[in-house]
Amino acid sequence: MAERISGSRRTWAGAESGRAVERAREAVAREAWGDAYDSLHGVDPDLLDADDFAALADAAWWTSRVDESVAARMRAYAGYTAKGDARQAGYCAWMLFYEHQLAGRTAAAAGWMGRARQQLEDEPECVEQCYLAWTDVEEAQERGAFGEAMDCARRMAGIARRCGSTDLLAMSTQAQAGVLLAEGRAAEGLAVLDDAMCAVPDARRAAALLRLPGELTAREIDVLRLVAAERTNRAIAAELAISEHTVARHLNNIFAKIDVSSRAAATAYAYTHGLL
């Protein structure tokens, strides 16, 4: 009898943990980091995959639990490395570099930067390489090598543009402006920032004029464009630096909002509404 009761408890605990993971994945899709952390941090680690550890790391980071973020991201890195996913492993390594750098742990930061380069430098061009270029900008700028820094910032912009990452393209613009300001070219640096800031309301006005049915969010439009470009969920996750679970959640929302049931129909929608 005791063994049956114990087994029932383990079954119940496993089912409850599974539900917690699903709640966390839904919270991550909404970028509700507090909810995601609350759902994930007490779950049996054996039930979490690399994407879940990466989500827990992000949730811990956004809720100011830096040490927990580092620990979870190391688990995510190990998971991605074990399954040969160099792009996600490289991104995790870069984030660990960034977190250690912010904490003043320079030796640990340098080690993780080396791992990020090792994972990403020999990969075909991918959005994660923007982070390497961004680091190159800052290192060159600190040496006073402003021409080199600007070249790196422009390389970052090129990768972001070709990979379709609007967020990293904006960050590359900020990096270029930062180089100009550091060089003492304040007027030029501020002009670059002004142009970028003026583009935001212009884009919002354009979106309003389109009056797209379904009221897709900006992130859902990014996902839909990549679907129309025949990218897999895994490729979309890598390019947008999100998990495959989050991509799947966005796709479910997109299909519901625009009333389609297939990627082909979603692609047709993207073409007919001028999203490409």
Q: Which domain holds residue 68?
A: 8-101
Residues 249 and 265 in one domain: yes
pLDDT band at 22 (very low <50, low <70, confident <90, very high): confident
Q: Cα(first)–Cα(last) distance of the chain, in Å? A: 63
- The CA distance from 40 to 63, in Å, is 13
pLDDT greater than 70 at residue 203: no
Residues 202 and 259 in one domain: no
Q: Would you state the pLDDT for residue 217?
A: 81
- Map the chain to HEC letters: CHHHHHHHHHHHHHHHHHHHHHHHHHHHHCCCHHHHHHHHCCCCHHHCCHHHHHHHHHHHHHCCCHHHHHHHHHHHHHHHHHCCCHHHHHHHHHHHHHHHHHCCCHHHHHHHHHHHHHHHCCCCCCCCHHHHHHHHHHHHHHCCCHHHHHHHHHHHHHHHHHHCCHHHHHHHHHHHHHHHHHCCCHHHHHHHHHHHHHHHHHHHHHHHHHCCCCCCCHHHHHHHHHHHCCCCHHHHHHHHCCCHHHHHHHHHHHHHHHCCCCHHHHHHHHHHCCCC
Residues 224 and 250 in one domain: yes
pLDDT band at 254 (very low <50, low <70, confident <90, very high): confident
- The CA distance from 67 to 123, in Å, is 30
Residues 217 and 197 in one domain: no
In a domain, 145, yes or no: yes
In a domain, 109, yes or no: no
Residues 91 and 130 in one domain: no
Model-wide pTM > 0.85: no
Distances (CA, A) of 182 to 154, 168, 188: 16, 21, 11
CATH number assigned to the domain comprising residue 243: 1.10.10.10
In a domain, 118, yes or no: no
Tokens coding 180: 């100009």
Residues 12 and 96 in one domain: yes
In a domain, 117, yes or no: no
Residues 177 and 148 in one domain: yes
Please give the share of the chain, as a percent, with pLDDT higher than 90: 35
Q: For residue range 223-247, list pLDDT tens digits in order.
A: 888 888 878 888 888 888 887 778 8
Q: What mean pLDDT comes out for the span 15-23?
A: 74
Residues 199 and 217 in one domain: no
pLDDT greater than 80 at residue 214: no
Residues 63 and 87 in one domain: yes
In a domain, 234, yes or no: yes
In a domain, 187, yes or no: yes
- Report the domain count for the chain: 3
Q: For residue range 59-84, list pLDDT tens digits in order.
A: 998 888 989 999 999 999 999 999 99
Residues 239 and 158 in one domain: no
Which is more confident, 90 or 63? 90
Domain termination site, one of 153, 176, 210: 210
Q: Would you state the pLDDT for residue 205?
A: 44
Domain termination site, one of 192, 210, 228: 210
- The CA distance from 81 to 115, in Å, is 11
Closest CA to 141 of 156, 154, 129, 153: 153
CATH number assigned to the domain comprising residue 28: 1.25.40
Residues 58 and 137 in one domain: no
- The CA distance from 131 to 117, in Å, is 10
Residues 218 and 242 in one domain: yes
